[in-house]
Structure 1
Amino acid sequence: METKDKKLQLDQLPAVAKELIDNSPCAFDDFVNDRQFEMKITNLSGQIDFADVSYNQVCDQIEAQTDKKVAFVLYFVYFTKYRRLKNSEARDLVKEFGEDFDCYEINKHIRLLADYSAYNSVKKFGRLMRDAGELCVESHKKLHNHVGVINLYCELTCAYYEKNLDERNEPEGEKQLKDALTSMRRAIKIEDDLQEQKEKQAQEQAKKEGVPYRAKGKKAYHKFYLNMGRLLVLLGQFDEGESQMNYAIHNLPNDKDRESRIRLYESYITQASIIRTYALSDDKYKDLEKIKVNTYKTVTLTTTLLGFLLGSIKIYETVTDVFTLAMLMLAYMSLLLVMSGTVLFGLSIALRDKKRRMLVYDGILVAVGIVLFAISMVLILTYGYTS
């Protein structure tokens, strides 16, 4: 089946779909979950002549098919066409026919694509990101290695955290971004290996036919590098992220969409610069907050200790026994430890300075102070006296 660079009329598409099904390299139910099937669908969608074609005509043609496989191919092709045109009919088509084709695992991916193109809210991106991530896990055998599915998961992850920049530094956010980056690199490796395999096959075929062969050296889909760059930027690896996005621009094909894609990809590079500035400002703000917290702790602790010292002077004026005075000094020092530890612990909680190590140190101060105070009181009551 070769229809490249030819315009397809709607009435021709069922026959082309039947030919695609008949030429499946494996069982059709398995082939639909392959990236190569998605690429063929994308190519067909680009060849359809959509001039003066109504949505009702598209629906009528799908409904008229007696072969469910043909109907699914038409559904996928038209969905892809509408989505690339950014038409709302893409989601309408899924609403109308989605349930009919849920028997094909790839339809989960189609549903996610439809929702992604229809919504632009943070809450929706979060749900879609989680749903897409479930399709990429190793336990999902049918779509685990589908690079289109992986790319959608990574793109949704980018979209979510670009709208929630503060969350990217949280433990859960950082883990999610690192997982997406690992998945994106895996997708690029899968795609590169496939291209290398195709190169070898083409080279062997040329050798058999005795014709010269020039290697194309084609790399993974340019958008994969764009999304990898976006993930790197969100993880704070700005230089490498921008480098990957520039590499994506460098690998754009020379087609009618090149200029619009360049503008889009450059907008992400601009966004990366904004995120870099935001990160620097955020770091400066955190440094100032840390200084403010430490200063507040110091002033509060000093004031408390001075007050305690002034209040205890009268006690020492009435004591003449050296041993008792020494024990009172020990008790006084232990109370200072208890008070210092309590004040610092309370301030750490109140000011959200929840470093585990510092909280442990504060707790140790309190515990040591209590033990020393108890010892001093026992010794005073047992051996000491006042006059």
Structure 2
Amino acid sequence: MQISRSNPSSIRWPREVARAIRICALGGVLTLAALAASAQQVAPRLTGAMVIADLAKVQQAVKARGDGTQDADLQAVDGQLQRMGANLRKMLGDDSNKPVATIDKDVRDAAIRAEAAAKRVQAWLDASATACTRDETGAMLAALTATLEQLSADTSSQKAPLPVIDGVETLDQRPLFVLGKQDAVPKFVLTGANLVDAQCANPEVTVVGADGKLVGTQPQLVAAQPGRVELQWPGAANLAPGAYTLRLAAERKGFLFGCTSQPPAVAVLQVAPQQHFKVSYALIATCEGQSAPVSLASATVSITGRDQTVTRSVDVSACGTPASYTLTAAAGEAPGQETKMGPVTQGPDAGITSGLGNGLTISWDPSLHQLLVRSGTRTCKGVY
């Protein structure tokens, strides 16, 4: 750095320093530009028109899913969405393009519930598109139908925003509709709006059965935030199959008043019975020096639950020198729902493994002379 004699206040910066200053200035401009761009990406505020569009979108998807099936439950969901959309459109009137948070409280509550219904239906569409059995799909649909009935029911509106549950999901954010029988304690999350007021006590979550009475085993609250309540439910595996309604009772702090109770936010989960699969198989060998194939094993085994293995030893003494083995099998939860495989033929030293749907596999191990039937982890996304 040099100072001019003619003008002592004039500073001559070295070229490297001047370049660094220009780069810093340019970086500041780019940072401001990036902030401006990110500000433009902020999601718009929810309006009544957006809620109606969301309802129409999921209703169309439900119609497409039910085309040609004559499924009464899908038709019921379609009807619920149609009524909810028509009612909201009528209530909104000329306020459809206004942010939901700014409109009349009665309309606001209806819009919030309708948006929750649209989210729950979309979650069901995503979950039921995975590899689910007929019983799993039916249980998820029953939980969805009951949830929509709760969301479309009339409630006493109030000045404070209404607590609403718009989703039930696992800790890894998979949609949840059904609790299957399992040894592990179920852990899941309720998502929504206005579930917790930081100035008040944590909400209380209780569960009632189809008869409206509290069940003997209740969930425990793990963590609570305004839009997210984490629960665990010890003893849920002992519940009888059926529908269970979760009621979240929150409090809200009012101006110049203490915390007051809010109308309960509700969600419905279905408890599914233990899964039972029947697997029928036949193992045939072709043997050197024997003109006819030899039947080595033919039976039906039952397998209960997930992550289970059934092993059957096979007597191969009837085939002196095997040239090949052929395996056929069929599996399902009920007659008429079987998934068939085979016949699959392999050499005498090669094993055979094949999938049977629903996470089931069957294997033949010629070295151990054993047939193994396995029920893998659950493949249906909406079932815990």
| Interval containing the TM-score (normalised by the shorter chain) | under 0.3
Task: Mark the structure with the bigger radius of gyration.
Answer: 1
RCO greater where, 1 or 2, for CA within 8 Å and sep 6 or more?
A: 2
**TM-score scaled to structure 1, two decimals?**
0.27
For normalisation by structure 2, the TM-score amounts to 0.27
